[in-house]
Homo-oligomer: A and B are copies of this chain.
Amino acid sequence: MGAGPAGSMASKDSGPEGRELFGIADLAEEFGITTRTIRFYENKNLIHPARVNGSRVYTRRDRARLALILRAKTIGSSLVQISHFLDLYGEQGEGRAEQMDYVVRETTKAIAELEMKQELIRDTLKELREIRQGCMERLPGYTPADNSHKV
């Protein structure tokens, strides 16, 4: 089965931010990934775009969801983990206390894991800064507390 275009002629606006609906190529370009990757995520049930004439159409919510996925990936989560993540983000609306309790427990776990990662990163950063500092001191033309070209 094929589908139609959703090319440069956007559904409503043409600005990159004022848009409401997006084609798969738009999102791919915006996030610097391939359409294959986006379709792969859909296959893994991470995003559920609408279909128009067989073509995928993404809302802002879909786009935000994709952004969440990519952010989580950068942090080091697997797609399976991300899938559970996304459930938490979606589930807040309503639901019985049972569901709420579940979300509370899961978010608590996720928070704990991220806090641990945060600590590991902090430690690593400290070490890297020490290494860099040690190197700089051995570099010719070094003067202690050289903040002349500080960032």
| Chain A contact residues, CB within 8 Å of chain B | 71-72, 74-77, 88-89, 92, 97, 100-101, 103-104, 107-108, 110-111, 114-118, 120-125, 127-129, 131-132, 134-136, 138-140
Contacts and interface: CB of A to CB of B under 8 A. Distances in A.
A71 B123 contact: yes
Contacts of A140: 97
Given A97-B140, A107-B135, A88 B128 contact: yes
A72 to B, nearest CB: 7
B121 A117 contact: yes
Contact of A111 (B71, B129, B139): B129
A45 B72 CA distance: 29
Count of identical protomers in the assembly:
2
9 contacts: A71-B124, A74-B120, A75-B121, A100-B138, A104-B139, A107-B132, A111-B132, A114-B124, A114-B125
A144 to B, nearest CB: 16
B104 A132 contact: yes
B131 A97 contact: no
A136 B74 contact: no
A37 to B, nearest CB: 17
B108 A114 contact: no
